[in-house]
Amino acid sequence: MARTAGSDGGRTEAAIREAAVQLIARHGFEAVTMRQLAAEVGVQAAALYRYFPTKEDLLHTLMREHMEALLGAWEAARADNDDPLARLTSFVANHIRFHVERRHATHVSNMELRSLSRDNLTSILKLRTAYEKELRTILRDGADAGLLEVDDTGLTAMAIIQMITGVIVWFRPDERLSVDEVTATYLAMTMRLTGAKTNAEDRHVRQDAELRAR
């Protein structure tokens, strides 16, 4: 009826976050009740309020940390490289790996925006916009250098992000394809989609080789 033996605030909070991500990803934020979440963690509902002041604050925390982790992963993965094609490759590969590894959290961050209040929504959208801007910059640099054929930078960035984020809709680990195989295929599609010059060159090299072999 009170503090349980061996209870630990740090562990409980981590368990709440984990359970919340799973439950919200599966049922949606509005459909998950604090009692349901508490039961999953193994505590009473009131105990949740020691760690998060409100249900919405819990959601906002999960989203903010997910977006910050995404931006952090990109900063770590980005080769300090001048080559736009290498940067584009890094971006797509990092995005797919990160999203496959955190399918549930991504689902939450993408689907539950409408459950946030104005201020909380604004703070998440700011992070999201910053991330999208990274891709737009790469595409513009690539187009300026004559390495990419991009009609509309903003529109192409949205198309690519939607395409590569869509992986989480159908991808399941331990099925037909590995993460690396999926990444390779999506990279090839991205390069074709943006008219990347290396791709065209590769194709010509291959064609030439075939012709010479005859």
**Helix, strand, or coil (residue 162):** helix
Q: How far apart are CA 118 and CA 195, in angstroms?
A: 39
CB of 104 to DNA, least distance (A): 18
Question: Binding residue for DNA (CB under 7 A) from 26, 27, 42, 208?
Answer: 42
Nearer to its own copies by Cβ, of 127 and 163: the residue is 163
Nearer to its own copies by Cβ, of 82 and 119: the residue is 119
- Residue closest to 60 by CA, chosen among 128, 136, 124, 147: 124
Binding of DNA by 43 (CB under 7 A): yes
- Unique residue bearing structure tokens 């503090």: 3
Binding of DNA by 108 (CB under 7 A): no
Q: How far apart are CA 125 and CA 131, in angstroms?
A: 10
Query: Contacts with its own copies in 106-135 (CB under 8 A)?
Result: 111, 114-115
Q: What six digits make up the tokens of 63?
A: 């989203």
CA distances 3 to 12, 54, 89, Å, are 12, 22, 51
Classify residue 113 by its DSSP letter. Answer: G
What are the backbone angles phi and psi of residue 16, rounded to the nearest 5°? Answer: -65, -45
Residue 114 near which of its own copies, DNA, none (CB within 5-8 Å, type-dependent): its own copies
Residue 183 near which of DNA, its own copies, none (CB within 5-8 Å, type-dependent): none
Residue 4 near which of its own copies, DNA, none (CB within 5-8 Å, type-dependent): DNA
DSSP, residue by residue, 45-61 = HHHHTTT-SSHHHHHHH
Binding of DNA by 22 (CB under 7 A): no
CB of 59 to its own copies, least distance (A): 12
Binding of its own copies by 137 (CB under 8 A): no
Question: Binding residue for DNA (CB under 7 A) from 3, 118, 176, 214?
Answer: 3
Residues in touch with DNA (CB under 7 A):
1-10, 12, 32-36, 38, 42-47, 49-50, 53-56
